[in-house]
Structure 1
Amino acid sequence: MNLHVAATDNTEDRFLFGARAAWFAYGMTVALMVFDYVDRQVIVSMFPFLKVEWNLSDKELGLLVSVISITVAVFGIPVAWIADRVSRVKSVVVMAVIWSLACISCMFSQSYAQLLAARAVVGLGEAGYGSVGAAMVAAHFPPRMRGGLLGGFFASASVGSVLGVVLGGVVAARFGWQSAFGIVGIPGLVVALLYLFVRDYRTVVADAKGVHASAQASAPSKRSMIASIGRSATVRWVCVGAAAELIAVSALWSWLPSFLNRTYGLAPERAGMQAALVVLAGAFGSLVLGIVVDRAGLRSARGRFLAVSVLCLAAMATLMFAFGSRHLGIELGQASQFGAILFGGFLATCTVGPAAATVLDVIHPGVRSTGASVLSLFQNLFGLAIGPLIGGMLSDAVGLDNALTLTPLACIVAATAFLMAGGGYQADRQRAEAPASLANSQEAFA
């Protein structure tokens, strides 16, 4: 009994396998997240080349980005559930190998349909990775460290996007757009093999099988663990808010290189480098604003959600001014406009860390990957997939500058949803605390 108490009382300071194993797992998980987004975003700097070579519309170009988010959304939950019940490490390795090989195969595409199909397979491989990776981070580190570390994990996606945009533009300009896919796809295979050395956390026992006698009576069923996701109002509102904010973010990241190319005549590689600065600002923003949001929630949990809502509205106002100031009779120079876009990109990623940390706070630890994949489904299907596509459709209809002026309106939905999420957070977290203690005791006895 005393052993049980000790195991559960120290969870705020306990590493799963020790600090060294935790930091190795974190480094490898972050590295794969970088290559995940390199392979995902490398194509946006190729838009000018593909538009000329295959005479594509902006809608068709946008779909080349959106298709990955669609496949991630469709397959994310099944993949995460398998990882939760079988092996997270082996699942990650298989996913990384698939998406890396699929990215390399894009270089052999001879038509738009072939390239679209190859990009869909990239998304199939990436399905569930963000969710499983977040669960690995949450499992290895004590709760007091999770918010900042998850912010860093998801910020690495922005770093990968920067590398993808820059490499795509530079390699395509020098060696042709096909070569870029091969160059960025190979490193992911190497990191995937190294990931086999990461220690996997044990599957939380369900249905009272294999649990130590002191915990056996209250072991959760699979149904109850899944129900902890569906019954949480906090999870539902956070999913809506996170997805809405990513409409603005993904439209900006996907179409900014083309905007700079068309508006200011920048060469594709130069436009890609400038756009990469905005993505990098987003990575920095997700870290800094994640800390700001955490501090806002120290006195009251509602403060966290209010801070996120205010930041969403600030991002909307900044981006709409940056792209639509001429409608107010204000003409911005190139440097001034880019400065406003840069600041808007910094603000726009404010939901990334808080959304993941909040969801992981209020669900059963035995389904962390699955719960995170529900958030990922919304983010990908209703955020990352919609943003580039809507941006392309609006661009075909009213011009690219007007499209980028209108897409930040989605931030209003994000701000409202996060305010609503704050209402049920405390109750949902309290319901999750008892199962969390049981899961920790199971790991201690394992």
Structure 2
Amino acid sequence: MGPNPTTSELEIAVAAPSSSVPTADRRTRRSSFYPWLVFALAFALLLSDYMSRQVLSAVFPFLKADWALTDSQLASLTSIVALMVGLLTLPLSLLADRWGRVKSLVLMATLWSVATLLCAIASSYEQMLAARFLVGVGEAAYGSVGIAVVLSVFAPRVHSTLSGAFMAGGSFGSVVGVSLGAVIAVHLSWRWSFAAMAVLGLILVLAFRTIVTERRLAEHAATDDTAESARPDEPAIRVPVSTLFTNPTVWCAYLGGGLQMFNAAVLLAWAPSYFNRYYGMAPDKAGAVASGFVLLIAIGMIVCGMITDRVGRNNAAAKWTSAITYCTISLVSLGIALQLETGASQLILLGIGAFFAAGSSGPTAAMVAGLTHQSVRASALGSLTVTNNVLGLATGPFVIGILADRLGLLGALQLAPLVYVLAIVALFLGKRMYPAGLAKLAAQSAAAAAKV
């Protein structure tokens, strides 16, 4: 038996294409304008996704006054969307992998846009709740399927950058949805806030449906890390869905990605209250300052993804190191900041911590994409979305709220950065197992090809 292959050899073996299409032709297609058009349209739809989701927060005061709603009823209109996303992301991602990603994206975006329009004409709390339920169903798997479509037309060397930028779209969309929705509600009415988001979504659906097709995506497909680009006369290679959960290295990426979102979610939810209570800011000013930190989180996701792609250009394992580094910087910055008195020093460290808070999002998405077969990639990214929601976006604000009732908000926030320790452990183990993960992927791909 010969010596064990090195990590680099495994990466080359997994990435090696078997298609007869000349390399020069592939390079021409990858360098064309079309992939960036796909990214722009998919990113625009993601903005529409979060604008439709978060515009509700801007009209809370109007709904409360018009329908005499309680705070728990208002909260249920928000939580129903998150609940549907958590429950349906994985099954809908699996369905999209089988039925067709472009058709699935068009159907999803149409559903959430029409549902947002139904919010605009709702005449009661019950009707609004039903419409928001449909918004959640439509948005459930868009993030995972959308990024899978984007990554399919770009080379692996830019996957971390694109993943970070795409996922940051959620933060940008939230800021735009709340701010624009509030302006429209004040000058027109809260119904027009929903209507504007719905119309924008439908326009983008039409543009996406016209320009992005499965055929054109196949023509511009980049050389895949995991699977071969089959010739038209060859049957498609598919691996079992179970492969999403049988590679321990992928599990490390899932867990690391979800845990590193914990503090980003805490900042998104509790920063306005923190500035209101401890800096004595009025609610509107506290919200404005907090939105600046939200933008820092979004910008950090993009920049950290770009840095990761550069350092991991010749060694994919370096992406794990980058993710660990971002978590460590945020752990130290936020940990020290929340021990300081209020003031400029604390704000600077909070800003640094926010910038790197979700910086590992792009690298972990790229790791998941690089360790799973192309035929189940949307499902794999859907699994990552589930862990992001379960371990981070949903759990973070809820846990800090419970702790705040006992320790005060500051005391609870001081404990939050410790979750990064768990994320770092998961990512460190993933880095150690990365060569074995690549070997596992190669074996899965070979087994699937042998059955064709």
The TM-score with structure 2 as length reference comes to: 0.80
Using a 3 Å threshold, how does the CA distance of structure 1 residues 175 and 213 change in structure 2: closer, same or farther?
closer
CA deviation after TM superposition for structure 1 residue 215, in Å = 4.9
After superposition, the C-alpha distances for 1:55-94 in whole angstroms (9 at most, x for unaligned) are 537xx87665554333112111221122222222221111
Counterpart among 308, 312, 315 of residue 297 in structure 1 = 312
CA deviation after TM superposition for structure 1 residue 21, in Å = 2.5
Using a 3 Å threshold, how does the CA distance of structure 1 residues 407 and 108 change in structure 2: closer, same or farther?
farther
SS at match of 2:27: coil
Using a 3 Å threshold, how does the CA distance of structure 1 residues 436 and 365 change in structure 2: closer, same or farther?
farther
The residue type paired with residue 335 of structure 2 is M
Separation in structure 2 between the aligned mates of residue 270 and residue 85 of structure 1, nearest angstrom: 48
Counterpart among 339, 343, 353 of residue 344 in structure 1 = 353
The aligned residue for residue 24 of structure 1 is 37
Using a 3 Å threshold, how does the CA distance of structure 1 residues 169 and 5 change in structure 2: closer, same or farther?
closer
Counterpart among 381, 387, 392 of residue 401 in structure 2 = 392
The aligned residue for residue 331 of structure 1 is 341
Contact 2:20 2:231 (8 Å CA) reproduced: no
The aligned residue for residue 387 of structure 2 is 378
SS at match of 1:13: helix
Q: Percent same amino acid among aligned pairs?
A: 34
Using a 3 Å threshold, how does the CA distance of structure 1 residues 366 and 143 change in structure 2: closer, same or farther?
same
- 1:277 matched to 2:300: no
- 1:243 matched to 2:253: no
Using a 3 Å threshold, how does the CA distance of structure 1 residues 284 and 439 change in structure 2: closer, same or farther?
farther
Counterpart among 80, 92, 112 of residue 105 in structure 2 = 92
SS at match of 1:292: helix
Using a 3 Å threshold, how does the CA distance of structure 1 residues 146 and 297 change in structure 2: closer, same or farther?
closer
The aligned residue for residue 234 of structure 1 is 249
Contact 1:162 1:276 (8 Å CA) reproduced: yes
Please say which of residues 189-198 and 252-261 is displaced more in the overlay.
252-261
Using a 3 Å threshold, how does the CA distance of structure 1 residues 213 and 403 change in structure 2: closer, same or farther?
closer
Contact 2:322 2:360 (8 Å CA) reproduced: no
The aligned residue for residue 151 of structure 2 is 138
SS at match of 2:86: helix
- 1:320 matched to 2:335: yes
Superposed counterparts of 1:200-279, under 5 Å: 200=214, 201=217, 215=234, 220=237, 222=238, 224-279=239-294
CA deviation after TM superposition for structure 1 residue 348, in Å = 0.5
The TM-score with structure 1 as length reference comes to: 0.80
The aligned residue for residue 189 of structure 1 is 202
The aligned residue for residue 432 of structure 2 is 423
Give unmatched runs, 5+ long, in structure 2: 1-16, 222-229
The aligned residue for residue 89 of structure 2 is 76
Contact 1:97 1:188 (8 Å CA) reproduced: yes
Using a 3 Å threshold, how does the CA distance of structure 1 residues 237 and 78 change in structure 2: closer, same or farther?
same
After superposition, the C-alpha distances for 1:282-320 in whole angstroms (9 at most, x for unaligned) are 121112112333344356544322331232132123223
Separation in structure 2 between the aligned mates of residue 391 and residue 162 of structure 1, nearest angstrom: 22
Contact 1:134 1:153 (8 Å CA) reproduced: yes
Separation in structure 2 between the aligned mates of residue 233 and residue 10 of structure 1, nearest angstrom: 36
SS at match of 2:342: coil
Separation in structure 1 between the aligned mates of residue 279 and residue 194 of structure 2, nearest angstrom: 27
Separation in structure 1 between the aligned mates of residue 395 and residue 401 of structure 2, nearest angstrom: 10
- 1:307 matched to 2:309: no
Contact 1:169 1:268 (8 Å CA) reproduced: no
CA deviation after TM superposition for structure 1 residue 407, in Å = 2.8
Contact 2:157 2:313 (8 Å CA) reproduced: no
Separation in structure 1 between the aligned mates of residue 175 and residue 329 of structure 2, nearest angstrom: 23
Please say which of residues 313-322 and 351-360 is displaced more in the overlay.
313-322
Give unmatched runs, 5+ long, in structure 1: 205-210, 441-446
The residue type paired with residue 305 of structure 1 is W
Separation in structure 2 between the aligned mates of residue 300 and residue 78 of structure 1, nearest angstrom: 33
SS at match of 1:332: coil
CA deviation after TM superposition for structure 1 residue 406, in Å = 2.9
